[in-house]
């Protein structure tokens, strides 16, 4: 049901010719009565034009629509690229009879090339004409790039309100955020400050702990729009939990669809001195190309796990480290433990458990293996 699972929203996805085939322009419109909103963006200092725009547009906690496109990131396009965003927003705002400053924009695709405005603007006309309370699936489909499937999620609260969402992302998945565009909608009654708190908390432990390839995008955007159409006020805690559940669901879908991956790797770091330490260790393991290649080759090479841990600033003693791979404790006290021959890596899921023996904190980071297909997809992407 995607973004139209929540009442008060219409959406559409249409083909404007930005990509060689398939839908590439999506629109999500909030018909209210509320128009509160929140969003988080990439922390990359090189931000795409739509990010620069949307950061400003959402700063007042109000948004009425989100315009999205695949087929071009509109990043590193200079003042001309920003003018293109502005023209798109003005056009959409006029069609929807809303203020331009209440329209957010998300783009994804190749960096460094202008969008073909002669196709995008007519595409907006088509998208507005196609808007429907059942258009969520079409919108989710239109924002795909190398995604093999559209990603959507929904949570319905027993009190009678819902959160719906769609996301795209299959590569350049690293904090913060994992490269992706994501729009969440809710028909709960909530203020922008509650939305903001819920969204930031959810992103911190879901999308921000995906690290497929260590590469941070220029375009990442996660937006949450609130229509209040259910008429039911959501307590902050319930809203936060629903938003978190939707984000966790989508993050798992992103991981499952990561470019060229044959493994989904869950790295659980325990007994850390702090959550930051646990995340740092998990991320260092997640980014170790040699380990990721080993996992692709079904090789439980725990030495590479220790070598990765050793590059961090986390509190630990090398001779106290324990590592288990798929429940076999291959490393005990910093040296060989049970036989690596007992580790079954034939399946798609890999669980790496690390004990730092330095405290009480825990964190989980998700990544993939490094495969021939990853190299293939990313060597041929722009050509």
> Would you tell me which residues interact with a copy of itself (CB under 8 A)?
44-47, 73, 75-78, 80-81, 110-114, 171-172, 213-218, 287-290, 293-294, 296-299, 301-304, 306-312, 316, 318-319, 321, 330-331, 333-336, 370-372, 374-383
Cα–Cα distance measured from residue 3 to residue 101, given in angstroms and rounded to the nearest whole number: 21
Query: Please, which residue, 111 or 223, has the CB nearer to a copy of itself?
Result: 111
Tell me: is residue 280 an annotated ligand-binding position. Answer: no
Cα–Cα distance measured from residue 169 to residue 318, given in angstroms and rounded to the nearest whole number: 36
**Interior angle at CA 266, CA 285 and CA 269, nearest 5:** 60
Instruction: Tell me if 348 sits within 8 A of 369, measured CB to CB.
Output: no
Tell me: is residue 378 an annotated ligand-binding position. Answer: yes
Catalytic residue among 179, 186, 218, 367: 179
Tell me: is residue 179 an annotated ligand-binding position. Answer: yes
Compute CA distances 111 → 76, 130, 182, 377, 382, whole Å. 6, 28, 19, 16, 9
Query: Please, which residue, 26 or 73, has the CB nearer to a copy of itself?
Result: 73
Tell me the β-bridge partners of 183: 166, 223
Is residue 108 annotated as part of the catalytic site, yes or no?
no
Query: Please, which residue, 17 or 214, has the CB nearer to a copy of itself?
Result: 214
DSSP state of 178: B
Instruction: Tell me if 312 sits within 8 A of 300, measured CB to CB.
Output: no
Tell me: is residue 168 an annotated ligand-binding position. Answer: yes
The distance of closest approach from Cβ of residue 362 to a copy of itself in the complex, given in angstroms and rounded to an integer, is 21
Query: Please, which residue, 148 or 341, has the CB nearer to a copy of itself?
Result: 341
The distance of closest approach from Cβ of residue 280 to a copy of itself in the complex, given in angstroms and rounded to an integer, is 12
Cα–Cα distance measured from residue 202 to residue 219, given in angstroms and rounded to the nearest whole number: 19
Tell me: is residue 69 an annotated ligand-binding position. Answer: no
Q: Which residues are catalytic?
A: 179
Annotated binding site: 145, 168, 179, 259, 378, 383
Annotated binding site for substrate: 145, 168, 179, 259, 378, 383
């Amino acid at each position: 049901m995607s973004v139209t699972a929540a009442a008060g929203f219409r959406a559409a996805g249409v083909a404007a010719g930005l990509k060689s085939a398939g839908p590439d322009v999506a629109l999500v419109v909030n018909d209210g009565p509320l128009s509160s909103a929140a969003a988080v963006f990439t922390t990359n200092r090189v931000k795409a034009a739509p990010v620069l725009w949307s950061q400003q547009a959402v700063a007042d906690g109000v948004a009425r629509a989100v315009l999205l496109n695949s087929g071009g990131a509109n990043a590193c396009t200079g003042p001309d690229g920003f003018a293109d965003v502005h023209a798109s927003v003005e056009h959409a705002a006029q069609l929807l009879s809303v203020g331009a400053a209440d329209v957010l924009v998300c783009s994804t695709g190749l960096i460094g090339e202008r969008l073909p405005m002669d196709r995008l603007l007519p595409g907006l006309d088509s998208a507005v004409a196609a808007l429907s309370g059942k258009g969520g699936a079409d919108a989710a489909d239109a924002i795909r790039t190398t995604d093999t499937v559209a990603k959507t999620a929904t949570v319905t609260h027993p009190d009678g309100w819902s959160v719906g969402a769609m996301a795209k992302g299959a590569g350049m998945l690293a904090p913060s955020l994992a490269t992706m565009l994501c729009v969440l909608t809710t028909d709960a009654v909530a203020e922008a400050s509650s939305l903001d708190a819920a969204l930031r908390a959810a992103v911190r432990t879901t999308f921000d702990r995906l690290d497929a390839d260590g590469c941070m995008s220029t375009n990442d955007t996660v937006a949450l729009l609130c229509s209040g159409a259910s008429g039911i006020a959501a307590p902050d805690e319930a809203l936060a939990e629903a938003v978190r559940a939707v984000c966790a669901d989508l993050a798992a879908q992103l991981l499952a669809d990561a470019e060229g991956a044959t493994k989904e790797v869950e790295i659980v770091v325990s007994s850390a001195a702090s959550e930051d330490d646990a995340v740092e260790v998990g991320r260092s393991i997640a980014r170790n190309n040699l380990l990721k290649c080993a996992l692709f080759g079904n090789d439980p090479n725990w030495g590479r796990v220790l070598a990765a841990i050793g590059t961090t600033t986390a509190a630990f003693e090398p001779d106290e480290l324990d590592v288990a791979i798929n429940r076999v404790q291959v490393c005990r006290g910093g040296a060989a433990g049970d036989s690596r021959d007992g580790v079954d890596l034939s399946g798609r899921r890999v669980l790496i458990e690390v004990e730092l023996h330095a405290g009480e904190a825990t964190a989980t980071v998700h990544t993939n293996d490094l495969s021939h297909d990853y190299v293939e997809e990313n060597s041929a992407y722009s050509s």
